[in-house]
Amino acid sequence: MGMSLPVDESDTRCNHDWYETSGMNDQERAAKALRSRAESAVLSSPARAPDSVDSLLPVEMLRVLHELRVHQVELEMENEELRQTQQEIEASHARYFHLYEFAPVGYCTLSEQGVILQANLHLRSMLGMSQETLLRRPLSQFIHPEDANEYELYRRLFSDADPLPAMVLRLLCASAPPIWASIKSAAGQDSKGSSERLMAISDITDLKLHEVRLQKFNLALETEVLARISQLKRMYTRLLLAQENERKRIALDLHDSLGQTLSAIKLIGGHRLASLHSHRSRAEKVFASALLKDLAGAIEEVRRISMNLRPSMLDDLGLLATITWLIAHFKAANPSIHVTEQIELEEEVIPEVLKITLFRILQEASHNIEKHSQATGVTFTLALVGGHLTLSVFDNGQGCDPRSVGQSNSHGGLGLASMQERTELSGGTFELRSSPEGGTLVVACWHLPIET
Ligand SMILES: Nc1ncnc2c1ncn2[C@@H]1O[C@H](COP(=O)(O)OP(=O)(O)O)[C@@H](O)[C@H]1O
Ligand SMILES: [Mg+2]
């Protein structure tokens, strides 16, 4: 015989209500199920309770009754705690769902295979697609075909790296052009412990469009600057050419008019003076020969100026002869400087267009040595080695700071800048090395044949 527990009237009423199934809510149904499970457990383990209360003494009955009441209260308290915990879990789940669903950024959850398990409202409206369209389909179906490979590479990292760095690619939209999206992702797990990938997706289309516009703008600006530079270079080249032609014209004029006239005066005056020699007083003779000497000096000066302007020798005898003349002139003007010449090439190998540039660099470098270096030794080198035509001028003088020279500044000085410009405009490279201990080295180099 089963144990019949003493129950009061309210219990009976309560139990009566309890067994009513109509109008029960989930909680009540769960409680009913629990009760019936408990009853079957009691029935299946009769050893734990006496079969009959008849065998119990009244005092024992009271004790059992007390035990049962305590146990019932314990169960009720436990049940209340469980109910509260469940409520908290439900509230927290609702909060999480709210955060996920209504976040101002696109969220989606992918299975390990890259299939969409969940997509929030923001992502759905970003793509203009419903939950039904997105769920249970691989995310790859919504990636722009041109970015498919990149996404595939990214997906392969799912199991390795966490969190993954942001990836930028295009996503397809239902009825709009693709959008640019920045995707960040982190590994997660579902309630059964299976791996998931949580993705945060931001629409960066505007940013990308700005970037593209900026790139186009930069490109246009760069093209414009390059066009301006090459225009300036062309103008500078024309200017140099015009300057050379002008120098040539003045040099010719000086030589042909003033130089010739002075030479004629000297010649005729010399003859005339020689024929009248005996009739002149001593003072007149001294004056006449001083005049002739001054005339000779003036002729020499005109020749020097005209040679500096544009040595006709360059056109008549070539660059090597002109260099030899220039160096001889330098030696004569600077007897205290020991000069070494290393001219190791034939006239024919020197490109015609480079000859005036080579001469001008040499001319300016030797002027600088005279003016600024206080050197005791100078080496002029012109050589063709391995297709490289190199002109270098080295002096062992006091040097200078290469960073503060070569530019037009308050101290004047365009010589170095013009050497560099001339070299680079003709397709060469220019270098100035200088220091107080090491002297000054000027190097201009061209790779032959040069492009004109
Ligand atoms: N060989 C050199 N030794 C020492 N200083 C030099 C040498 N060449 C150039 N410099 C320095 O560089 C400056 C600029 O030279 P440059 O451009 O030719 O202008 P400028 O000769 O008219 O001063 C010179 O004023 C001088 O201070
Ligand atoms: Mg100079």
Q: What is the pLDDT of residues 386-425, one digit of tens each?
A: 999 999 999 999 999 888 775 545 455 789 999 999 999 9
Asked if the structure places residue 264 within a domain, the reply is yes
User: Looking at residue 359, which CATH number applies to its domain?
Assistant: 3.30.565.10
- Can you list the positions of beta strands (E) in 261-406? 338-344, 377-385, 388-395
Question: Quick one: which atom of ligand 1 is closest to the CA of 364?
Answer: 18
Interval between CA 405 and ligand 1 midpoint (Å): 7
Asked if the structure places residue 29 within a domain, the reply is no
Q: Is the pLDDT of residue 436 over 60?
A: yes
Q: What is the pLDDT of residue 158?
A: 77
CA torsion angle 56 60 62 64 (round to 10)? -90
Interval between CA 378 and ligand 1 midpoint (Å): 15
Cα–Cα distance measured from residue 125 to residue 446, given in angstroms and rounded to the nearest whole number: 63
Interval between CA 404 and ligand 1 midpoint (Å): 10
**pLDDT tens, residue by residue, 111-149:** 988 999 999 999 999 999 999 999 999 999 999 999 999
Are 351 and 425 part of one and the same domain? yes
Are 185 and 244 part of one and the same domain? no
Q: How many domains does the chain contain in total?
A: 4
Asked if the structure places residue 4 within a domain, the reply is no
**Structural domain for 88, as ranges:** 46-94
* Residue nearest ligand 1's atom 26 by CA: 372
Q: Is the pLDDT of residue 22 over 80?
A: no
- Among the bound ligands, the one closest to the CA of 414: 1
Q: Considering all CA atoms of the chain, what is the largest pairwise distance in Å, rounded to the nearest integer?
A: 184
Q: What is the pLDDT of residue 16?
A: 45
Q: Is the pLDDT of residue 160 over 90?
A: no
Cα–Cα distance measured from residue 44 to residue 162, given in angstroms and rounded to the nearest whole number: 52
Mutate to test the pocket of ligand 1, among 339, 361, 372, 378 (most ligand atoms within 8 A of CB): 372
* Residue nearest ligand 1's atom 3 by CA: 373
- Among the bound ligands, the one closest to the CA of 432: 1
Cα–Cα distance measured from residue 119 to residue 198, given in angstroms and rounded to the nearest whole number: 10
310, 328, 359 - which closes a domain: 310
Asked if the structure places residue 170 within a domain, the reply is yes
Interval between CA 368 and ligand 2 midpoint (Å): 5
Are 342 and 450 part of one and the same domain? yes
59, 94, 129 - which closes a domain: 94
Q: Which residues line ligand 1 (CB under 6 A)?
A: 368-369, 371-373, 395, 397-400, 405, 411-416, 440
Of 240, 310, 232, 296, nearest to 263 (Cα)? 296
Question: Quick one: which atom of ligand 1 is closest to the CA of 400?
Answer: 5
Q: Who has greater pLDDT, 110 or 19?
A: 110
Are 184 and 300 part of one and the same domain? no
Are 321 and 421 part of one and the same domain? yes
* Residue nearest ligand 1's atom 12 by CA: 405
Are 118 and 82 part of one and the same domain? no
Are 411 and 376 part of one and the same domain? yes
Interval between CA 331 and ligand 1 midpoint (Å): 20
DSSP H helical segments within 9-120, as ranges? 9-18, 26-44, 58-102
264, 289, 310 - which closes a domain: 310
Asked if the structure places residue 15 within a domain, the reply is no
Question: Quick one: which atom of ligand 1 is closest to the CA of 369?
Answer: 1
Are 379 and 433 part of one and the same domain? yes
**pLDDT tens, residue by residue, 294-335:** 999 999 999 888 888 888 889 899 999 999 999 999 999 999
Interval between CA 370 and ligand 2 midpoint (Å): 9
Q: What is the pLDDT of residue 12?
A: 40
Question: Quick one: which atom of ligand 1 is closest to the CA of 398?
Answer: 4
Are 438 and 337 part of one and the same domain? yes
Cα–Cα distance measured from residue 349 to residue 448, given in angstroms and rounded to the nearest whole number: 9
Are 133 and 216 part of one and the same domain? no
- What region does 193 belong to: left with phi over 0, alpha with psi -120 to 50, or beta? left
For residue 51, name the pLDDT band (cuts at 50, 70, 90). low
Are 214 and 275 part of one and the same domain? yes
Cα–Cα distance measured from residue 258 to residue 249, given in angstroms and rounded to the nearest whole number: 13
Q: Is the pLDDT of residue 274 over 80?
A: no
Are 149 and 269 part of one and the same domain? no
Asked if the structure places residue 19 within a domain, the reply is no
Asked if the structure places residue 60 within a domain, the reply is yes
Per-chain mean pLDDT for the chain: 87
Asked if the structure places residue 5 within a domain, the reply is no
Q: Are 217 and 127 in contact (CB under 8 A)?
A: no
**How many Cβ atoms from other residues are within 10 Å of residue 28's Cβ?**
14
Mean pLDDT of 375-379: 97
Cα–Cα distance measured from residue 382 to residue 320, given in angstroms and rounded to the nearest whole number: 9
Q: Is 416 exposed, middle or buried (0-12, 13-18, 19+ CB in 10 A)?
A: buried
Q: Are 138 and 131 in contact (CB under 8 A)?
A: no
